[in-house]
């Protein structure tokens, strides 16, 4: 199943949502790509539905496809980086939303979002993309 996640950069950090449904935990805003929808459109839509923010995608970050990344089924996640202004407000299937830094990440993180965020913060520090994982 194709999915999208967006690392939304705001002035004080990145936006995460607390999931309302299983699997529980904090996560990047994202979800399933609808039939006939591009991954870019899905990323913007899901971010707006879950955070209330209008996101401008700035780059394609990486693709994550480990069959264990989602306990519900095998998903392939396309992860974008984007920017937004304003204060995130939980919506759709988000119970809460907040802004976090590498030093203030909440727990638990859902799915493989801990790995994605570790890759992102390393990329921001070094400029190097995450390695391919086979």
- Residue 76 sits in a domain whose CATH number is 3.90.79.10
Name the domain count of the chain.
1
Is there a domain that residue 131 lies in?
A: no
CB of 118 closer than 8 Å to CB of 28: no
Query: Domain span at residue 45?
Result: 2-126
In this structure, the strands spanning 94-100 and 13-19 are antiparallel
First to last CA, the chain: 19
* Residue 103: predicted pLDDT: 97
Is there a domain that residue 58 lies in?
A: yes
| Distance (Å, whole) CA 43 – CA 3 | 9
The most distant pair of C-alpha atoms in the chain lies apart, rounded to whole Å, by: 38
* Residue 133: predicted pLDDT: 78
CB of 57 closer than 8 Å to CB of 82: yes
Is there a domain that residue 54 lies in?
A: yes
| Distance (Å, whole) CA 42 – CA 93 | 15
Is there a domain that residue 7 lies in?
A: yes
CB of 47 closer than 8 Å to CB of 82: yes
> Model pTM greater than 0.85?
yes
Tell how far CA 39 is from the center of its chain. Answer: 13
Per-residue confidence in pLDDT tens, the chain, 134 aa: 999 999 999 999 999 999 998 889 999 999 999 999 999 999 999 999 999 999 999 999 999 999 999 889 999 999 999 999 899 999 988 899 999 999 999 999 999 999 999 999 999 999 999 988 77
Could you tell me which of 28, 29, 23, 33 has the C-alpha nearest to residue 3?
Answer: 33
């Amino acid at each position: 199943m194709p999915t999208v996640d967006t690392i939304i950069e705001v002035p004080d950090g990145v936006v995460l949502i607390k999931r309302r449904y299983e699997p529980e935990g904090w996560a990047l805003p994202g979800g399933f790509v609808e039939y006939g929808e591009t991954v870019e459109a899905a990323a913007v839509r899901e971010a707006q539905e879950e955070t209330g923010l209008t996101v401008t995608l700035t780059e394609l970050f990486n693709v994550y496809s480990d069959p264990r990344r989602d306990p519900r089924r095998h998903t392939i996640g396309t992860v974008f980086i984007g920017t937004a202004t304003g204060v995130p407000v939980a919506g759709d299937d988000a119970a809460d939303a907040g802004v976090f830094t590498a030093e203030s990440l909440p727990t638990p993180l859902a799915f493989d979002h801990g790995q994605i965020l570790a890759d992102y913060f390393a990329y921001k520090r070094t400029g190097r993309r995450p390695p391919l994982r086979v």
